[in-house]
Chains A and B, each alone.
Chain A
Amino acid sequence: MIDFCILGNPRSGTTLLRLMLSTHPDITVPPEAGFAVWLMENWEGEFSPEIYVEKLCQTKKIESWQIDQKELTAYLHKNKVDSLKSAILQTYEFYRENEQVQFIGDKNNFYLDHIDTLKKINSSMSYIHIVRDGRDVACSYLQLMNKKYTSKYAPILPTNITEIASSWSQNNNKIRAGIPPEKIITIRLEDLVEKPENELKRVCKFLGYKYDIKMLDYYKNSDNYEPKEYDEWKSKNKKPIENDNFKFKRILSQADIAEFEKVAADTLAHFGYELLS
């Protein structure tokens, strides 16, 4: 079973929230892998636990889960897993049990285009939608554009302001449209940064978990939760929260702000972001 899933546009704080929740003593959110959706949509041929584990271990980013193939195969046999969907859910259970926690979540920006598949995998899952001001997202994209990466998993993102605005707006609206309102909580990164305790309490209340103050110390152990390779574009998560809200006012030109707002005005307004142009 997957208890909840964090969804958000890239560079919107999904990893920050993942790390915070993973620091809760009862919760784990594994590094993003995306095998669940990929296998569900691309599986061909017969199913057996052996074939499943072999295919699973060929999927992107799964190495960060550090799965022992023999142990997982034995686990699937022990639980009489006879279908792909059941194998996917039991893989999450396998991870959760190894972490010795009560709940497991997931997080992946790749899911934005596969929400229906996600719902088919686990219909009772809850969702946390984290939103960040799209103009700050644009700043983040533009800053990353100038970096050089060695990781094969480095993000590939649009760099043209019109495209950024359009994809940011579409992505957030896909989440809004794809999940029934009672199954989703929306938080803004800006609020999480300014009042983390308040927002985490709100998330815990929604999920039905007890709030734990340890979540605020997420950065102290982030090495344990996030692959080192991702530091090239996620290094901020190793430090205490830095309030960098609305930095676009310093970084983006008036023309870029106006262009962004022209494309994404309705979505910005929906999430309570003030329009400047």
Chain B
Amino acid sequence: MNIALNSPVAPDLKKLTSYLEQVNDSGWYTNFGPLHQELTSRLEEYLGVRNLLLVSNGTLALQVAYKVLGISNAITTPFSFVATTSSLLWQNIQTQFCDIDSQTYNLSPDTTEIALQNDPSLNGIVATHVYGNPCDVSAFGDLSKKYNTKVLYDAAHAFGIKVGEQSVLNFGDASTLSFHATKVFHTVEGGAIIFKHKADFEKAKQLINFGLDNGEITDVGINAKLNEYQCAVGLTLLDNVDNILKHRAELFRAYLNGLSNTLIETPKWHPNANYNGAYFPVNLMNMDNFIKVSKILNDNGIQFRPYFKPSLDSAFAHVQNNGTVISQQKTKFIICLPLHFYMSKQDADLVVSLIKKVIK
């Protein structure tokens, strides 16, 4: 393989070891230890958020958030990673798909409103900032007030994204992050929930620790705590995260500029948002393009991935579907191009030039 699709950032071992020694010295390996506290406060400051709760992965982040927000009947997007929907179904939450916006590929507020009008029992909107591109947070905020529903954003791709100067994680009742090794910032496995209200944060903190509060069982909980060794990885990588985001955003721009004026489509980015370079999706629009691009990338050892595919309504056919034509259409020919910290701008330029050889 000449250019890999993704390559997790390796923590500096010297720095990591120093953190791990701190853990060994303290003898505090999990259960909200000193590194957990340090990573929490540093992430809150870095991201410009409050009420951030670290958890053991991004899927549990979603599940805990649903439970704390009391979401029992949800609308969600079919155009997302499988965990957005499977986490709802895992908890027996009544789920409905609504279609996405044809330009941004995010859940459409218009189709969501129709579903809310038709079913007053809906009490949650679960929308993904797909590829890190912020949803129409203003429109979903209005829907939340109008129909008295909770809004939860799956922000697994949106680390470091801002709308204006405001972290995208500050919109809605809660947002969830994934710190999987493939993400722009990671703790090998891990994640976080950012709550709007402190009371929800406190509740979630109990739930991820078996529902215990000062040793007393207060609720049906689960174990979703992030341990100290994983926090050490996070702290090590956080020192370098500005460089990582900057480099990835430069690669994103290189792709965006290189592929403008070609017959392929990229999702329309939120006008007031920055890039974090989490992914670079291209919609190749038809089978002919798809075959030609796949062949030239494969022939040159360049890894790519259809992402997202399939539209989740296909995978979960029993889920109520309020119309997912656009999602079905977009998933057919969309791929993500290689994008990671160890790639160079020349690598991105090479990918662009190869694609341009077969698509004008």
Q: Do A and B bind each other?
A: yes
Q: Are A123 and B45 in contact (CB under 8 A)?
A: yes
From the candidates A1, A97, A122, A183, name the one contacting B165 in the complex (CB within 8 A).
Answer: A183
Q: Which stretch of B46-54, B61-69, B92-100 is in the interface?
A: B46-54
Within the complex, the shortest CB–CB distance from B48 to chain A, in Å, comes to 4
A256: CB under 8 A from chain B? no
Q: Are B163 and A208 in contact (CB under 8 A)?
A: yes
Alpha-carbon distance A123/B238, docked complex (angstroms): 14
Q: Are A124 and B45 in contact (CB under 8 A)?
A: yes
Within the complex, the shortest CB–CB distance from B155 to chain A, in Å, comes to 14
1/0 contact string of A114-126 vs chain B (CB within 8 Å): 0000000011111
**Among B45, B163, B165, which residue has the most Cβ atoms of chain A within 10 A?**
B165
| Complex interface residues of chain B between 126 and 170 (CB less than 8 A to chain A) | 138, 141, 162-167, 170
What are the residues of chain B within 8 A of A262 when measuring CB–CB? Answer: none
Alpha-carbon distance A124/B49, docked complex (angstroms): 9
Alpha-carbon distance A185/B166, docked complex (angstroms): 13
B44: CB under 8 A from chain A? yes
Within the complex, the shortest CB–CB distance from A219 to chain B, in Å, comes to 27
Q: Are B198 and A124 in contact (CB under 8 A)?
A: no
B117: CB under 8 A from chain A? no
Q: Are A209 and B48 in contact (CB under 8 A)?
A: no
Alpha-carbon distance A122/B45, docked complex (angstroms): 6
Nearest B-chain residue to A185, judged by Cβ: B165
Q: Are B165 and A126 in contact (CB under 8 A)?
A: yes
Alpha-carbon distance A208/B172, docked complex (angstroms): 13
What are the residues of chain B within 8 A of A125 when measuring CB–CB? Answer: 48
B37: CB under 8 A from chain A? yes
A77: CB under 8 A from chain B? no
| Complex interface residues of chain B between 307 and 349 (CB less than 8 A to chain A) | none
Within the complex, the shortest CB–CB distance from B325 to chain A, in Å, comes to 32
Q: Are A102 and B165 in contact (CB under 8 A)?
A: no
What are the residues of chain A within 8 A of B141 when measuring CB–CB? Answer: 210
Q: Are B162 and A208 in contact (CB under 8 A)?
A: yes
| Complex interface residues of chain B between 2 and 47 (CB less than 8 A to chain A) | 37, 41, 44-47
From the candidates B37, B48, B164, B198, name the one contacting A1 in the complex (CB within 8 A).
Answer: B48
A207: CB under 8 A from chain B? yes
Alpha-carbon distance A71/B44, docked complex (angstroms): 23
| Complex interface residues of chain A between 181 and 214 (CB less than 8 A to chain B) | 183, 185, 205-210
What are the residues of chain B within 8 A of A208 when measuring CB–CB? Answer: 162-167, 170, 272
What are the residues of chain B within 8 A of A93 when measuring CB–CB? Answer: 50
What are the residues of chain A within 8 A of B163 when measuring CB–CB? Answer: 208
Alpha-carbon distance A168/B101, docked complex (angstroms): 50
A80: CB under 8 A from chain B? yes
A217: CB under 8 A from chain B? no
The interface size bin for chain A is 20 to 34
A3: CB under 8 A from chain B? yes
B196: CB under 8 A from chain A? yes
What are the residues of chain B within 8 A of A48 when measuring CB–CB? Answer: none
| Complex interface residues of chain B between 43 and 95 (CB less than 8 A to chain A) | 44-50
Q: Are B166 and A207 in contact (CB under 8 A)?
A: yes
A86: CB under 8 A from chain B? yes
Given contacts A1-B50, A97-B198, contact A206 B45 (CB under 8 A): no
Within the complex, the shortest CB–CB distance from B51 to chain A, in Å, comes to 10
Given contacts A80-B37, A93-B50, contact A207 B45 (CB under 8 A): no
1/0 contact string of A62-94 vs chain B (CB within 8 Å): 000000000000000000100000100100010
Q: Are B196 and A1 in contact (CB under 8 A)?
A: no
What are the residues of chain A within 8 A of B164 when measuring CB–CB? Answer: 205-208
What are the residues of chain A within 8 A of B47 when measuring CB–CB? Answer: 124
Alpha-carbon distance A181/B353, docked complex (angstroms): 34
Alpha-carbon distance A86/B37, docked complex (angstroms): 11
Given contacts A206-B165, A207-B165, A208-B163, contact A123 B46 (CB under 8 A): yes
Given contacts A97-B198, A205-B272, A210-B138, contact A124 B48 (CB under 8 A): yes
Alpha-carbon distance A206/B164, docked complex (angstroms): 5
Q: Are B196 and A102 in contact (CB under 8 A)?
A: yes
**Among B49, B50, B138, B272, which residue has the most Cβ atoms of chain A within 10 A?**
B50
Within the complex, the shortest CB–CB distance from A23 to chain B, in Å, comes to 19
Q: Are A86 and B41 in contact (CB under 8 A)?
A: yes
Nearest A-chain residue to B198, judged by Cβ: A97
**Among A102, A126, A207, A208, which residue has the most Cβ atoms of chain B within 10 A?**
A208
Alpha-carbon distance A84/B165, docked complex (angstroms): 26
Nearest A-chain residue to B50, judged by Cβ: A1
What are the residues of chain B within 8 A of A80 when measuring CB–CB? Answer: 37
Nearest A-chain residue to B171, judged by Cβ: A208
What are the residues of chain B within 8 A of A207 when measuring CB–CB? Answer: 164-166
Within the complex, the shortest CB–CB distance from B204 to chain A, in Å, comes to 15
Within the complex, the shortest CB–CB distance from A105 to chain B, in Å, comes to 12
Alpha-carbon distance A124/B41, docked complex (angstroms): 12
What are the residues of chain A within 8 A of B48 when measuring CB–CB? Answer: 1, 3, 124-126
Nearest A-chain residue to B170, judged by Cβ: A208
Alpha-carbon distance A180/B297, docked complex (angstroms): 40
Nearest B-chain residue to A123, judged by Cβ: B45
Can you pick out 10 interface pairs between chain A and chain B where the beta carbons lie within 8 Å of each other?
Answer: A80-B37, A86-B41, A124-B45, A124-B46, A206-B165, A207-B165, A208-B162, A208-B166, A208-B167, A208-B170
Chain B residues packing against A (C-beta within 8 Å) = 37, 41, 44-50, 138, 141, 162-167, 170, 196, 198, 272
- 17 additional contacts (CB under 8 A) given A208-B166, A208-B170: A1-B48, A1-B49, A4-B165, A80-B37, A89-B45, A97-B198, A122-B45, A123-B46, A124-B167, A185-B165, A206-B165, A207-B164, A207-B166, A208-B164, A208-B165, A208-B167, A210-B138
